[in-house]
Amino acid sequence: MKRVLILSNEESAESPGLITDALRYGLPQGLCNIPNLQSVVRSLGAYEVVVLYHKQIGEVGRLAPDAVLLSGIFTDRALPYDTVLREYEGVISWLRTADVPTFGICLGLQLICSAAFWRASRAGKWALGIGMGAAFGVGIRRLPGEGEFGFKPLYRQTAHPLLEGVAEPLHCLELHRCEIDHVPEGFSLLLSSDLCRGQMIAHASRSLFGTQFHPELTDGYHRDGIQLLENFLRLY
């Protein structure tokens, strides 16, 4: 039986990640991030599902998963950029060399792509500018206005096996105010929306993927994201 590891990025090992405003998006009231991910994976096949808190990243080798889902985060807290490296240092380090097929969702994508980076200050001295994440050297920027929320159309930019059998355009739930500032070297851009270019990326040689949207969340009508996850678990 294929073992799927859900790596939780919530604020504690005990937090299920309550999805606020669930009813606004046609989701069940009281829906929680991590239990929902577990339920979705189990609905897609005979998978053994294991949940690991991100601070326990050192246990991944012992668990020997066949695939990893790197979760988003729904805990209602502001996470300053200058704390992200400390908060997710272990995950970021693991992502640089991970040889397990991995699919990052929302914050998961940002952790894959972004980095703490050195910037030259106006005074000509090098200062540490903190961005989200650290694996591939991409920064994070705010979207204009209030961000992107609700089920939005996503447009294919590059053909890829993960997109087989998926509608064109597909519609998935967006719940974010930030985006990656460019597609990192070694990755292809698969999907974009009207507001956010970096909606889905895939590494050229590693089984490493990320979405800014939430493929795991459906209102019962929009199920394109579920098809993406099914393709990932089936193909990798």
- Ranking 4-8, 108-112, 197-201 by mean pLDDT, the lowest is 108-112
196: left (phi over 0), alpha (psi -120 to 50) or beta: beta
**pLDDT exceeds cutoff 90 at 158:** yes
Least confidently predicted of 7-21, 105-119, 213-227 = 105-119
- pLDDT tens figures, 133-154: 344 556 677 788 888 889 999 9
pLDDT band at 212 (very low <50, low <70, confident <90, very high): very high
Residue 207 has pLDDT above 80, yes or no: yes
Q: Which two tokens stand for residue 118?
A: 């050195």
Would the pLDDT of 54 be above 50? yes
What gap in Å lies between CA 156 and CA 168, rounded to an integer?
Answer: 7
- pLDDT computed for residue 75 by the predictor: 59
Could you write out the DSSP letters of every residue in the chain?
Answer: -EEEEEEE-SSSTT---B-TTGGGGTPPTT-BHHHHHHHHHHHTSSEEEEEEEGGGGGGHHHH--SEEEE-----S----HHHHHHHTHHHHHHHHH--S-EEEETHHHHHHHB--EEEE-TTS-EEEE--S--SS-B-EEEPSTT-EEEEEEEEE-S--GGGTT--SSEEEEEEESEEESSPPTTEEEEEE-SS-S-SEEEESSSSEEEESSBTT---SS--HHHHHHHHHHHH-
Higher pLDDT, 123 or 90: 90
pLDDT at position 80, please? 55
What is the arithmetic mean of pLDDT over 20-47? 93
How many Å is the Cα radius of gyration of the chain?
Answer: 17
Instruction: Kindly report the CATH number that applies to the domain delimited by 2-235.
Output: 3.40.50.880
Q: What is the pLDDT, as a whole number, of residue 230?
A: 97
Per-residue confidence (pLDDT) for residue 133, from 0 to 100: 39
Helix axes 224-235, 33-43, angle to 10 degrees: 60
Residue found under tokens 């990755």: 187
> Looking at residue 118, what is its pLDDT?
27
Residue 115: per-residue pLDDT: 37
Q: pLDDT tens digit string along 59-105?
A: 999 999 999 999 998 855 555 555 666 788 889 889 888 899 999 99
What average pLDDT does the structure give for the chain?
Answer: 84
- Residue ranges covered by each domain of the chain: 2-235
